[in-house]
Amino acid sequence: MQAAHLLIDTDPGVDDALAILMAHHATTVTALTIAAGNVGLRHTVANALKLIDVIGAETPVYAGCASPLVRQAADAAFVHGQDGFGDTGYVASARRAENEHAALAILRLSHEHPGRLTLVALGPLTNLALALRLDPQLPSRFARLVIMGGAVNGRGNTHLVPAEFNIGFDPEAAHIVFSNWPKFDLVDWEATVRHGLDYADFARWLEVDSPRAKFYSAISRGTRSWAQAQGRERLYSADALAMAVALEPEIVNRVQECHVAVEMNGEFTRGATVVDWENRLRRPANARIILGVDQARFEDRIKAALAAR
C-alpha cells in the first residue's frame, strides 16, 4: 500500500537528505518547505533544489524563515559541513525556489489537499509555528503530523544538554506547535540512538550503482567520519527514522501517548522536551512518543531509497 502523500518541512542537512530520498522513493512528495537550522537558509534551500535534481523529481521548494522566532541559535555545520551537504562543492541546481513563503505554502497546500497530507517536520519548527499563528485551524486539514525532535528523557544532542537540535534551535516555535497541535507523532533523539545503523552496513548500502547512492555517499562522508571520530557506536540518522515512521506507521512497535511541553527558559534547560509520563498534571496527551520500530523494516527502506534510480 502506498504511503500518504507528504509535505516535508526540512533543513537539509545530511540526514534530511536521506529522509527526502526515502520519501520520493515511496510516495508523492507534494512540496518541500525549507527552514534554517543545520545551516543557513541559503544553503538549506540550495541543498533541497540540488537533491530534487539528483532524484529527477519536480517537487516544488519553498523557502521559509531565515532565523528562529525569537533568539538566534547555533547551527550544526560542524556535523553537516559548512554548506550542510558535506562541502563537496556540488554544481548548484539551475532551479529556483518558488516565490511563495514556506509558511504560506503550508497553509495553501492544506486547503488544496484537505485531510489528505501527512506533514513531516524534520527541522526546527519555525515555519510550522508561523503557519499555526496565521491559521489556528491548520491541524484540522492535515491527516497526520510527524515531528523529528526532542529528547524525551533529557538525553539531548546539543550543548544545552537536555535539548535536541531541532527543538533547541527554536524553542518558542516548538512551544507554539506542541501547544496548538492536538496530536502528533514524536520521533525523538533517544529513539534515533536506539535505532542506530551499523557503519559497515551503511557503507555497503552506498556501494550500489545508483546516482542517488553516489550523491549520498559523497555528501555524507564527512558526517559519517565525524560520528565515528566522536566515538558513536552506530550511525544515527534522526530524519530517516522519522521518515520511516511517516511512510509506514505499522513499523512502530512501541509507543506511549503523553503530554509533552517545551521549556523555553533556563541556562541549561532551554529547548528541553518535558514529558508528563504519569499524566500527573492531567493534561491531554499531545504526543504519540515513538519508542520503538522494527529495525529491519527501517533499514530496508533506507536500502531501497539509496538503490532507487
Q: Site residues for ligand RIB, window 180-239 (CB under 6 A)?
A: 189, 238-239
16 is an interface residue for Ca ion by CB under 5 A: yes
Q: Site residues for ligand RIB, window 76-115 (CB under 6 A)?
A: 76
Write phi, then psi, for 195 (nearest 5 degrees).
Answer: -110, 40
185 is an interface residue for Ca ion by CB under 5 A: no
> Binding segment for ligand RIB among 67-75, 125-133, 164-172, 173-181 (CB under 6 A)?
164-172
Nearest-approach distance from CB 115 to ligand RIB, in angstroms: 26
68 is an interface residue for ligand RIB by CB under 6 A: no
> Binding segment for ligand RIB among 59-67, 138-146, 161-169, 278-286 (CB under 6 A)?
161-169
Q: Which one of ligand RIB, Ca ion, none is in contact with 20 (Cβ closer than 5 to 8 A by kind)?
A: none
Distance between CA atoms of 273 and 150, rounded to whole angstroms?
Answer: 5
Nearest-approach distance from CB 17 to Ca ion, in angstroms: 9
9 is an interface residue for Ca ion by CB under 5 A: no
13 is an interface residue for ligand RIB by CB under 6 A: yes
Q: Site residues for Ca ion, window 129-168 (CB under 5 A)?
A: none
Binding test (CB under 6 A) with ligand RIB, winner from 29, 37, 118, 227 = 37
Which residues of the chain form contacts with Ca ion (CB under 5 A)?
11, 13, 16, 122-123, 239
Name the site residues for ligand RIB (rule: CB under 6 A): 11, 13, 15-16, 37-38, 76, 122-123, 148, 157, 164-166, 189, 238-239
